[in-house]
Structure 1
Amino acid sequence: MGNTLECIGDWISQQRWYAGKGHVPRLRELSRQVIPSDDPAARVSIVLVMDDEGHVPTLYQVPVVERDELQPSERPFLIGRNDEGSYLFDGPHDPAFPRALLRVLAPELADEARVTATRVLAAEQSNTSIIYDIDGVPSVICKVFRTLHHGDNPDVTLPAALSLAGSTAVPKYVGQLRSEWDDVGRPGGRAAGHLAFAQEFLAGADDGWKVALKSASAGDDFSTLARALGEQTARVHATLAEVMPTSDAEPADVAAFVASWTSRLALATREIPALFEHREAIASIYAEAEAGRWPSLQRIHGDFHLGQALLVPERGWVLVDFEGEPLRPMDERDRPDVPLRDVAGMLRSFDYAAGSTPGVPHDWASSAREAFLEGYIAASGADLASFRPLLNAFELDKAVYEAVYEARNRPGWLRIPLRGIDQLVARRLDPSTAS
């Protein structure tokens, strides 16, 4: 028992998306927005709570459905019981909230007779996604952002801009929800950001990582699919450059990229002794990239790998999850970047698919890498040969990032990024090749 905030405080630390592991939440409520419900027995609201414990205060979104009765099937999603005796439920798991949210996002779809079922995608770690059956068919997926940040979320703005521009390389846009909250650190004392984003649900889609693993384990050639993925990536970059701001890479921009690479390398060499012998060679590759050609900066995917691509029957590759690197601040993820960062991320992903699968033919990853770059060049017309030093630098930086992650979390996988670093340092590839 307690007030709503106290109930949330007892419950939130047990949730997978709660970032403050290891400490007791210290919450304060910033706002509570009531959403009209078509269920007379349900009172629906969105509560924004700030956790002031920990090094950095963190803002969370908690949709709440309040009911006077508790059914046995609802018990796993119970937040608590407040002082008034009402039961509080985590909104996405109660049918009243998804229907109320869809009426805000897409009123034309939210008629009670059309929404025949809703369910939560169970595998997610950081957000909560709700799948809607419209007229009996899984048709819409809505991502409810649990951790909120001031500013536009690229996981909303980028796929929305692509879809509204007519691109079929992303799911079709359905709707979005923004809100404001108090923030004494900002001019005017208010902040704003995205709470939810809805788009087309792609029934029958296969996760690109699983498709690649299956291909690698069977020893099947992946080059046709890799080339198509390269072509689709180039088309997405081209559309983003048309509909979102671009800018030339100024000396200050280049210096910022190099500083980021150098800082990450310094951290990695302190934590991973095997990298120490390569530090000078890696630094020289970074210096070569710094002095070489740089393309225009534009919006990109930002955290591109095989798990961010879906293979859809009769449609091909569709790109998803444009939020960028989750650990980077939102304002950094919302800036123009170098398209080669996405290219490098996918090249590393091919190496990971091969490295995590026993018995993969030696040339599986190199064939996939070469085909991906061929597809990207064919669809974009980009002169990747002249940008090869920069691509090498981005791929090295990604591998260094992976090495730190694996050393801290999955030591048995550390060999995969270390092998990639060894290969990049040991060879200066012919610019016409992709392996």
Structure 2
Amino acid sequence: MSNTLECITEWIGRQRWYAGKGHVPRLRELSRQTIDTDDPDATISVILLMDDAGHVPTLYQVPVVERSVLQPAERPNLVGQNDDGLFVIDGPHDPAYTRALMRLLAPDLDPATITATRVLSAEQSNTSVIVDIDGVPTIICKVFRALHHGENPDVTLQAALSAAGSTAVPRFIGQLSSEWDDVGRPGGRATGNVAFAQEFLDGAQDGWKVALEYAADGRDFTELAAALGRQTAEVHETLARALPTNDTSPADIAAVEVSWKRRLMLAEREVPTLMESREAIEAVYAAAAECDWPRLQRIHGDYHLGQALLVPERGWVLVDFEGEPLRPMDERDRPDVALRDVAGMLRSFDYAAGATDGWPTDWARASRDAFFEGYVSASGVDPRGFSALLDAFELDKAVYEAIYESRNRPDWLGIPLRGIAQLLAQRADVTLDR
């Protein structure tokens, strides 16, 4: 594969999943594995590359297919042409790679039944491939681009829920792990998930788009919000049964409070106007730290309307359990407070209203109340009983949103800033009432 690394280095910086924007990639190869293929013109390699360009090295998975002939449809996904004259193609866009990967993920599947594959274009951090079986979209396979040592919550949690019989997530089909050199690990090796496959939900509607349409039209969303609350509670209850839980220790609470304050400091650098609210925000965090906390358990971790699909004749199905992108991976795979998920969805209702002309706050308030009622009906637990803690998680989520919007959509920055102001006013009213 002479000069294939140079081809990848020139190509990788233009990919949506490349995290080192603003850096010139500086790649070094950690491993390269050849995968058997049934295509005589294809050579498939999975290359793990460490990028040393940023402050923190990042490990990427780059599957490639080498071909002597390039078809016109493959040209947009061409990585380059190496010194041997072979065309190097981004693996997930080549059916030979997808068939080979599916043989590893689902050994019982007959590759001859795979009639078509296509890559989803909207993803930011991974690459997902829809696989048609006998002409029907049946499987979605997620290829992780940035790799980490240890379990990926998206794999672990969805596998546990599926194994427990939950229909609140797509049916889990299989996963693939890999090893690579890591001098910082005992034994000098690291292990992590590189891909997994699950049921594809044909006809599913994105929950965010559904909510936006309802908010824009002024339609009552409360029935759907209540159903989402019930499904959320069911997922929390199943995860608590299927995976370990533990009591919340003073050290756990202190760690969460530190993460809240760390995020606030970052937000103040990105959005200086937040400095005016620092004292009030930290007072909310301090009050939450003094409360009684529920047990810790595994949760979704980055929960909002965009992580829920509305499936015909099935209802809400939850996806993308990787956790919040700005949190370190070693934090995302620990037990957490289920209220974090609840707070995330509450903020999402407000976001749908804020992204709508006229900002229908009554729509958001009704949707929030219905979500609570659905959650209580399914679990017997009312999150509003932990109001100080729930407010702190919701406030932290709004601070996170302010960071995101300042970096990516400055025109939307007013949505989280208004949310922060409303939350602080709400807490002030509660304090005065006491």
Question: What's the TM-score once normalised by structure 1's chain length?
Answer: 0.95
Q: How big is the alpha-carbon RMSD for the aligned residues of Structure 1 and Structure 2?
A: 1.6
SS at match of 2:108: helix
265-274 or 391-400, larger mean C-alpha shift: 265-274
CA deviation after TM superposition for structure 1 residue 197, in Å: 0.8
80-89 or 32-41, larger mean C-alpha shift: 80-89
SS at match of 1:261: helix
CA deviation after TM superposition for structure 1 residue 236, in Å: 0.2
SS at match of 1:107: coil
What's 2:16 paired with? 16
Report the residue type matching 1:24 in the other structure.
V
What's 2:216 paired with? 217
What's 2:63 paired with? 63
User: Any idea what the Cα deviations from partners look like across 1:164-201, whole Å, max 9, x if unmatched?
Assistant: 11000000001111000111111111011011010000
What's 2:261 paired with? 262
What's 1:276 paired with? 275
What's 2:412 paired with? 413
Report the residue type matching 1:188 in the other structure.
G
CA deviation after TM superposition for structure 1 residue 241, in Å: 0.5
What's 2:226 paired with? 227
SS at match of 1:176: strand
SS at match of 2:193: strand
What's 1:386 paired with? 385
Separation in 2, partners of 1:13, 1:274: 33
Asked if 1:331 corresponds to 2:295, the answer is no
What's 1:115 paired with? 114
Separation in 1, partners of 2:290, 2:383: 16
CA deviation after TM superposition for structure 1 residue 273, in Å: 4.4
CA deviation after TM superposition for structure 1 residue 262, in Å: 2.0
338-347 or 278-287, larger mean C-alpha shift: 278-287
Asked if 1:158 corresponds to 2:157, the answer is yes
Separation in 1, partners of 2:260, 2:71: 54
Report the residue type matching 1:34 in the other structure.
T
Identity of aligned residues (%): 72
CA deviation after TM superposition for structure 1 residue 270, in Å: 4.8
What's 2:89 paired with? 89
CA deviation after TM superposition for structure 1 residue 425, in Å: 1.3
Q: Is the 8 A contact 1:293 1:386 kept in 2?
A: no
Q: Is the 8 A contact 2:354 2:360 kept in 1?
A: no
Q: Is the 8 A contact 1:206 1:312 kept in 2?
A: yes
Give runs of aligned pairs for residues 233-382 of structure 1, distance below 5 A. 233-382=232-381
Q: Is the 8 A contact 1:246 1:299 kept in 2?
A: yes
What's 1:45 paired with? 45
Report the residue type matching 2:139 in the other structure.
V
User: Any idea what the Cα deviations from partners look like across 1:127-163, whole Å, max 9, x if unmatched?
Assistant: 1110000111000000001111111000111001100
Q: Is the 8 A contact 2:372 2:382 kept in 1?
A: no
Instruction: Identify if the C-alpha distance between structure 1 residues 41 and 268 changes in structure 2 by more than 3 Å, giving closer, same or farther.
Output: closer
What's 1:142 paired with? 141
Separation in 2, partners of 1:354, 1:403: 16
Instruction: Identify if the C-alpha distance between structure 1 residues 266 and 20 changes in structure 2 by more than 3 Å, giving closer, same or farther.
Output: closer
What's 2:3 paired with? 3
71-80 or 117-126, larger mean C-alpha shift: 71-80
Q: Structure 1: which 5+ runs fail to align?
A: none
CA deviation after TM superposition for structure 1 residue 332, in Å: 1.1
SS at match of 1:108: coil
212-221 or 323-332, larger mean C-alpha shift: 323-332
Separation in 2, partners of 1:408, 1:87: 36
CA deviation after TM superposition for structure 1 residue 209, in Å: 0.1
Instruction: Identify if the C-alpha distance between structure 1 residues 267 and 129 changes in structure 2 by more than 3 Å, giving closer, same or farther.
Output: closer
CA deviation after TM superposition for structure 1 residue 312, in Å: 0.3
Q: Is the 8 A contact 1:156 1:176 kept in 2?
A: yes
Report the residue type matching 2:52 in the other structure.
D
CA deviation after TM superposition for structure 1 residue 296, in Å: 0.3
Report the residue type matching 1:179 in the other structure.
S
Q: Is the 8 A contact 1:207 1:309 kept in 2?
A: yes
User: Any idea what the Cα deviations from partners look like across 1:402-435, whole Å, max 9, x if unmatched?
Assistant: 123223332221221121112111124999xxxx
SS at match of 2:46: strand
CA deviation after TM superposition for structure 1 residue 282, in Å: 2.1
150-159 or 421-430, larger mean C-alpha shift: 421-430
Separation in 1, partners of 2:87, 2:270: 48
SS at match of 2:309: strand
Instruction: Identify if the C-alpha distance between structure 1 residues 428 and 81 changes in structure 2 by more than 3 Å, giving closer, same or farther.
Output: closer
33-42 or 403-412, larger mean C-alpha shift: 403-412
CA deviation after TM superposition for structure 1 residue 79, in Å: 1.4
135-144 or 375-384, larger mean C-alpha shift: 375-384
User: Any idea what the Cα deviations from partners look like across 1:88-108, whole Å, max 9, x if unmatched?
Assistant: 111111110000000110022
Report the residue type matching 2:54 in the other structure.
G
User: Any idea what the Cα deviations from partners look like across 1:84-127, whole Å, max 9, x if unmatched?
Assistant: 22221111111100000001100222421x11111111111211
Q: Is the 8 A contact 1:99 1:110 kept in 2?
A: no
Instruction: Identify if the C-alpha distance between structure 1 residues 270 and 56 changes in structure 2 by more than 3 Å, giving closer, same or farther.
Output: closer
SS at match of 2:192: strand
SS at match of 1:424: helix
Report the residue type matching 1:30 in the other structure.
L
Q: Is the 8 A contact 1:2 1:81 kept in 2?
A: no
